[in-house]
Structure 1
Amino acid sequence: MTAPAIPPLLRLSSSTPRPGVVVVEANGEIDAATAPQLTTALEPVWASAPGRVVLDLSRVTFLGTAGLGALLRAADHADTAEVVLRLVGGTRCVDRAVEVAGLGARLPVSPDLGHALHG
């Protein structure tokens, strides 16, 4: 008898809604086990030299300290590359984690994708 398949803790996908803009959507948990997956998924995004990167975290169900660390590394990379980085929150776990950590100024969270794309 085989054990049932365990769904992945984090699923990531990316899209390019317009030239120079990349949206990376995260669905699931971003913690010590999955934060490296997010960092790895962003490597080709940075290599494509976009003008704006939007991390859509509206489907994230848990954001731990390792996830916040990955987001801070993304912000550092964006600053170095002169890329606008925006996060989409809108969920209690994301908004609260950024707020409690005091990272609101460093990791601006937009309420929805439209604001993140144009703000």
Structure 2
Amino acid sequence: MTPIVAVKIQNQDTVPVARLEGEIDILNASEIGIQLFGAAPNTAPGLVVDLSRTTYLDSRGVQMLVELAERMRRRQQRLRVVVPERSVVRRVLQLSHLDASVPLDHTVEEAVTHLRKEQ
């Protein structure tokens, strides 16, 4: 059984930040994607997804992030993902080449700053 993923959404300088804690896999990725897309109102410059406390991410989780980024682009918004430099999750995102289309940041503050500059 997949552990429950905690999703906490807060605004930081008018930018919604979603912090995910736990495992993201085929059993919960779709539901998480819907929740994340709904967290960014049309007036926001984009969404920051903080995976610093995510312990596992499978291919369905990566696909969810790709789909989320595309949906946000259609709304003229940007997605930025926060992952620690040496985390397993960052390595998964790099191996899947997500970092070629979605910027990876080291901190939430860095991601929020970039989104505000892109407005």
Question: Paired residue for 1:44, among 10, 25, 38?
Answer: 38
Q: 53, 66, 70: which is aligned to 2:64? A: 70
**Residue 3 of structure 1 corresponds to which residue in structure 2?**
none
Gaps of at least 5 residues in structure 2 are 115-119
Q: Which runs of 5+ in 1 are unaligned?
A: 1-5
Matches within 5 A, 1:1-119: 8-19=3-14, 21-46=15-40, 48-49=41-42, 50-90=44-84, 92-119=87-114
* Identical positions, percent: 25
How much is the aligned-residue C-alpha RMSD, in angstroms?
1.7
Q: How many residues align?
A: 112
Deviations along 1:89-113, one digit per CA (max 9) or x if unpaired, are 1151221011111221112110111
Q: In structure 2, how many angstroms separate the alpha carbons of the residues matched to 1:14 and 1:113? A: 12
**Cα pair 1:98 1:107 within 8 Å, conserved:** no
Alpha carbons of structure 1 residues 8 and 80: separation in structure 2 relative to 1, 3 Å: same
Task: Give the Cα separation in 1 of the matches to 2:49 and 2:98.
Answer: 15
Query: Aligned equivalents of 1:26 and 1:40: distance in 2?
Result: 14
Q: TM-score, normalised by structure 1?
A: 0.85
| TM, length-normalised to structure 2 | 0.85
Cα offset for 1:37? 2.3
SS of aligned partner of 2:98: coil
Determine helix, strand or coil for the equivalent of 1:71: helix
